[in-house]
């Protein structure tokens, strides 16, 4: 049997005495979109960075396409694309130069690189941006180039940390369509977001992370039904409020 493309097995991460992620187990199947939600500081970025092999877990194991990320980081990384707000785009290079750089890094030939860049330019509508230096791009334009960068080697697994951050409504919708198309192509996609409506629209399953622990996991529908709420936002506010020792005066931001 083919292993799930994404497996987190009892992942733990501590920074000094602080536990950022504790005993986190989840999996994402091929052709599935998984949304990781949770308040600021819940541990989403930490978990995604561990998945992408950019951070060494304090406990547990991460497997990408069945490959133990700690044991074979390069092989695992070849199977994944990681998008994060802090991804550098090399200000002085053009978008095309950045894409060529990463394509080469992943071992694409010159011809494969040219074909892939043309494909991505069409998919992400970045034709007009390719020959501009990254430093001159707007936030949303940079984000689209960063998405292209993450997809350049057509990886099996997509790990996206707040992918629609900084995108306008049209660009967000466009990215959601792209992710759905990637899902149809059998990719396993895991992303974090603070936009619950977006998670509701896009995700097959959702995990709610709270203080480093997975509080709930399920389909958006099941999570809403559990709390008899009309929206996921209300369901999560209920869940998080129930976790607080005393209900905070202000609703926590998801
Ligand atoms: N390198 C680090 N050193 C110390 N503490 C860290 C480090 N990285 C993360 N943390 C802490 O771990 C916790 C989880 O951080 P993380 O960035 O994973 O949260 P998050 O869920 O992504 O939050 P946000 O929604 O704000 O992006 C936070 O309390 C953060 O301060
Ligand atoms: Mg984060």
pLDDT in tens, 150-202: 999 999 999 999 999 888 888 898 899 999 999 999 999 999 999 888 999 89
Residue of higher predicted confidence among 239 and 103: 103
Decide: 60 in ligand 1 pocket, CB within 6 A.
no
Residue count (the chain): 254
Torsion region of 151: left, alpha or beta (phi above 0 gives left; psi -120 to 50 gives alpha): alpha
Report the pLDDT averaged over residues 105-129: 95
% of the chain at pLDDT higher than 70: 95
CATH 1.10.8 segments of the chain: 86-154
Q: Is 126 helix (H, G, I), strand (E, B) or coil?
A: coil
pTM for this entry: 0.92
CA distance linking residue 254 with residue 252, whole number of Å:
6
**Range 86-154: architecture per CATH:** Orthogonal Bundle (1.10)
CATH code matching the domain that covers 1-79+156-254, chosen among 1.10.8.870, 3.30.465.10, 1.20.120.160, 3.40.50.300 = 3.40.50.300
Minimum-distance ligand 1 atom for the alpha carbon of 13: 12
5 lines ligand 1 (CB under 6 A): no
Residue 81 has pLDDT above 50, yes or no: yes
- Look at residue 213 and tell me whether its pLDDT is greater than 80: yes
Q: Give the pLDDT score at 243.
A: 81
Mean pLDDT score of the chain: 91
Instruction: Give the pLDDT of residue 83.
Output: 94
User: What does the pLDDT read at residue 230?
Assistant: 79
Q: For ligand 1, say whether the CB of 35 is within 6 Å of any of its atoms.
A: no
CATH 3.40.50.300 residue ranges for the chain: 1-79+156-254
State the DSSP string of 151-200: HTT--SEEEEESTTTT--HHHHHHHHHHHHHHHHTT-EEEEE-S-HHHHH
Q: What is the pLDDT of residue 247?
A: 43
Return the residue whose CA atom lies nearest to atom 27 of ligand 1: 40
Per-residue confidence (pLDDT) for residue 254, from 0 to 100: 55
How many A from CA of 170 to the centre of ligand 2? Answer: 23
* 143/48 Cα distance (integer angstroms): 18
With H, G, I as helix, E, B as strand and everything else as coil, classify residue 103: helix
115 Cβ contact list (under 8 Å, min separation 6)? none
Supply the DSSP string of 187-235, one letter for each residue: -EEEEE-S-HHHHHHH-SEEEEEETTEEEEEE-HHHHHHHTT-SSHHHH
What average pLDDT does this structure show over 45-66? Answer: 96
Residue 245 binned pLDDT confidence (cut-offs 50, 70, 90): low
> What's the confidence (pLDDT) of residue 226?
83
Q: Is the pLDDT of residue 91 over 80?
A: yes
pLDDT of the residue at 118: 96
């Amino acid at each position: 049997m083919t292993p799930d493309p994404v497996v987190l097995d009892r992942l733990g991460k501590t920074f000094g005495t602080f536990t950022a992620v504790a005993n986190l187990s989840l999996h994402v199947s091929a052709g599935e979109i998984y949304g990781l939600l949770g308040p600021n500081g819940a541990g989403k970025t930490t978990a995604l960075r561990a998945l992408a092999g950019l951070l060494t877990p304090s406990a547990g194991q991460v497997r990408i396409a069945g490959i133990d990320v700690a044991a074979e980081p390069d092989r695992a990384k070849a199977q994944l694309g990681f998008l994060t707000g802090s991804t550098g785009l090399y200000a002085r290079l053009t978008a095309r130069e950045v894409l060529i750089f990463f394509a080469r890094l992943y071992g694409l030939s010159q011809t494969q690189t040219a074909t892939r860049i043309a494909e991505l330019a069409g998919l992400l509508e970045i034709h007009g941006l390719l020959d501009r230096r990254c430093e001159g791009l707007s936030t949303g334009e940079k984000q689209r180039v960063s998405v292209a960068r993450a997809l350049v080697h057509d990886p099996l697994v997509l790990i996206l940390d707040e992918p629609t951050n900084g995108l306008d409504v049209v660009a967000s919708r466009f990215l959601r369509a792209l992710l759905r198309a990637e899902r149809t192509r059998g990719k396993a996609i895991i992303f974090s977001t603070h936009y619950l409506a977006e998670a509701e629209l896009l995700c097959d399953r959702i995990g709610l992370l709270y203080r480093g622990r997975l509080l709930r996991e399920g389909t958006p529908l099941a999570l809403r039904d559990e709390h008899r709420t009309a929206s996921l936002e209300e369901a999560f506010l209920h869940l998080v409020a129930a976790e607080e020792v005393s209900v905070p005066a202000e609703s926590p931001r998801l």
